[in-house]
Amino acid sequence: MDLLPNQIEMTHPRHPLDPLSAQEIQSAVSMIQIVMQSHSMRFVSVSVNEPEKAFVDEYSPGQIWDRQAYAITYDPETSETHEWTLSLTSQKILGHEVLSGVQPNILLDEFIECEEAVKIDPRFQAAMEKRGITNMDRVMIDPWSAGNYGNEDHGRQRLVRALTWVRQDSDDNGYAHPVEGLLTVVDLNTMRVVDVEDNGVIPIPEEPGNYAADRIPGLRTDLKPLHVTQPEGPSFTVDGYQVKWQKWAVRIGFTAREGLVLHSITYEDNGRLRPIIYRASLAEMVVPYGDPGANHNRQNAFDAGEYGIGMLANSLELGCDCLGTIRYFDAHLVTSHGDPFTIKHAICLHEEDFGTLWKHTDWRNQNTEVRRSRRLVISSIATVANYEYGFFWYFYLDGTIQFEVKLTGIVNTGAVRAGDKPKYATLLNEELMAPIHQHFFSVRMDMEVDGRNNSIVEVHTEKESLGSHNPLGNGFYAKSTVLRTEQEAQQIIDPFSARYWKIINPHVLNEKTGEPVAFKLIPGENVLPFADSESSLIQRAGFITKHLWVTPYNPNELYAAGPYPNQHPGGAGLPEWTAANRSITDSDIVVWYTMGHHHVVRPEDWPVMPVAYIGFSLKPSGFFPFNPSLDVPPQSPLHGSCEV
């Protein structure tokens, strides 16, 4: 295992899409602080203000440009959100907008301060004493976003509904010991407890649920070492934030809200650089729970828009999250008080063997041709309270792009009385349950398949009718339909018709077939929400009601549930934008794919959940004239290969 040296921090970025450095963040913060001079103001995020596409298209190395930052701040004294556009080059404020009635995401400092505010509240302490808990040092408070149910003062209050667990010791898994029936509503503006809801005492589960190696007796002793080595180094090269690997080129970005962002994904084909995706990112995610009980009926966290996936990114460790010859990228962010901070190793870049790429044995002469597959992996992992989410982009030798989310961590828990059988949850032990829930992810892909003028095509398979044209009844065929408007493009998966979607360029034709070049979006696991259509969840997360959305490009339309989902009453984002039913043919289009993981918790998911996988693929479909991986060379047997 080898670690490649990290990029040295540069005074000047190499490319307009490069993330901001710590020094650039500090410069942006200083400009805002000089203007505002507010002791209460909190910084939500500071990121690069991405230039217009036309500028990026024409940019050449060494060119001078106006480097800009985009910042969001929040003032709890006035409940106002501020949006800033700043020139780092000229040290000028280019734009400043003040928004009332919207709430930016919950900040890391607010998590910590909220826990302390709850613990010192006399009403909370009295409720805990009723349950036999007087030592606040062992109490865990998770602030859950409050949502919007029409009965709170969302104009002035910045609310969370805090849930409680108790550790048995300092390293104990507190999620094994939930305090059911107790909810604490906190106004983060004043950092005071607004209300303590006590719906009755249910005994706190006592059985431990620890998973650390030093708590597990009898660890396996028969696992032999399995080494991943690349003695000649990796096949990728890194120049600043641009990565090149096996004809692929991609730029790496990172934001506090989206986490890992990919830019300018291209494929070199016989000396021609062919664009595929301009920008790809996680546009939103939400986790709705299905238990209508008081502790759980408002649990539907928007983990990107209400918490910020990037702010919660892990610092990855060599040999644990990635294997092989690794290149890490750091993420530079800002605390709520305006101090730049760095998440070391927030992004991991490496290669993986992936089994057989293609193979055929000529049975007549026994000649065999086989090629090994490998893939480039660009990944980041975030911890959102109890859950971990790994976000993985894969690039393959045959031109395939894959996005995969790996879900692990600890399931959300609640307590039940011994002997009760919960309807909306799975029992983990006699007193502990985990509610049924779902995880929805919206991925935004600004497509440019061989250029910006693209269209979207729905493809499904139909059986042919009986007749002289199909006398034996064996016929079936793929039927293609161009989706011409935003509302036509609002679709759900249909595995029974083998439905998929193609992003085509009608102006570039395959040299062999004469058909438009294309990439096809192939769904993986998916589901629809089970919440009622009138529920607050569906009003606020309307994007989860469809698996496919397509919009014309608009630089301001970045997030599936709108820019400020925290406490928003609903209707924002994709449902609002697509109501105009704009044309999406032969134009610059953005494809949004929503995928849902349905989680009926298993006992085997406790006390820590084995990874569950969900994702989709983008495969070339007439983009190449033939298999683009024919030129992959045969691989000699690895040193040390042997029979047992």
Q: Is the pLDDT of residue 151 over 80?
A: no
pLDDT in tens, 577-589: 999 999 999 999 9
Tokens of 373: 């597959």
Output the average pLDDT for the chain.
95
pLDDT in tens, 568-617: 999 999 999 999 999 999 999 999 999 999 999 999 999 999 999 999 99
Give the position of tokens 């962010």: 333
Q: Is the pLDDT of residue 5 over 50?
A: no
Please name the residues in contact with 567: beta carbons below 8 A apart, sequence gap of 6 or more: 103, 145, 146, 147, 148, 152, 154, 158, 159
What kind of fold does domain 238-330+337-358+375-620 have according to CATH? Beta-galactosidase; Chain A, domain 5 (2.70.98)
State residue 9's pLDDT score.
41
Active site residues: 303, 387
Residue 546 φ/ψ, nearest 5 degrees: -130, 150
Q: At 1, is the pLDDT very low, low, confident or very high (cuts 50, 70, 90)?
A: very low
State residue 156's pLDDT score.
80
**Three-state DSSP class for 58?**
helix
Tokens of 459: 């493809």
Q: At 642, is the pLDDT very low, low, confident or very high (cuts 50, 70, 90)?
A: low
Q: At 154, is the pLDDT very low, low, confident or very high (cuts 50, 70, 90)?
A: low
CATH number of 108-215: 3.10.450.40
Q: Is the pLDDT of residue 4 over 60?
A: no
pLDDT mean over 522-548: 98
State residue 7's pLDDT score.
39
pLDDT cut 90: percent of the chain above it: 93
What secondary structure, in 3-state letters, does 276-304 show?
Answer: EEEEEEEEEEEEEECCCCCCCCCCEEEHH
Q: Is the pLDDT of residue 638 over 70?
A: no
pLDDT in tens, 104-120: 999 999 999 999 999 99
pLDDT mean over 408-429: 98
Task: Report how far residue 355's alpha carbon sits from residue 421's, in angstroms, rounded to the nearest whole number.
Answer: 45
Residue bearing the bigger pLDDT, 210 or 4: 210
State residue 150's pLDDT score.
87
Q: Is the pLDDT of residue 188 over 90?
A: yes
Give the position of tokens 């249910």: 202
Q: At 445, is the pLDDT very low, low, confident or very high (cuts 50, 70, 90)?
A: very high
Task: Report how far residue 70's alpha carbon sits from residue 258's, in angstroms, rounded to the nearest whole number.
Answer: 14
Task: Report how far residue 616's alpha carbon sits from residue 404's, in angstroms, rounded to the nearest whole number.
Answer: 7
Reported as type and span, the H/E element at residue 553 is none
634 by Cβ neighbours in 10 Å (0-12 / 13-18 / 19+) ranks as exposed
Q: Is the pLDDT of residue 51 over 80?
A: yes
Q: At 320, is the pLDDT very low, low, confident or very high (cuts 50, 70, 90)?
A: confident
CATH number of 2-99: 3.10.450.40
Q: At 644, is the pLDDT very low, low, confident or very high (cuts 50, 70, 90)?
A: low
pLDDT in tens, 323-351: 889 999 999 999 999 999 999 999 999 99
Range in 308-312, 325-329, 624-628, 634-638 the model is least confident about = 634-638
Residue 581 φ/ψ region, left for φ over 0, alpha for ψ in the -120 to 50 degree band, beta for the rest: left
Which residues face 267 on adjacent strands?
248, 274
pLDDT in tens, 56-83: 999 999 899 999 999 999 999 999 999 9
Helix, strand, coil percentages for the chain (3-state, nearest 5)? 10, 45, 45
Reported as type and span, the H/E element at residue 25 is helix 22-36
Q: Is the pLDDT of residue 483 over 80?
A: yes
Q: Where in the chain is the domain with CATH 2.70.98.20?
A: 238-330+337-358+375-620
Q: Where in the chain is the domain with CATH 3.10.450.40?
A: 2-99, 108-215
State residue 636's pLDDT score.
77
User: pTM value?
Assistant: 0.96
Q: Is the pLDDT of residue 319 over 90?
A: no
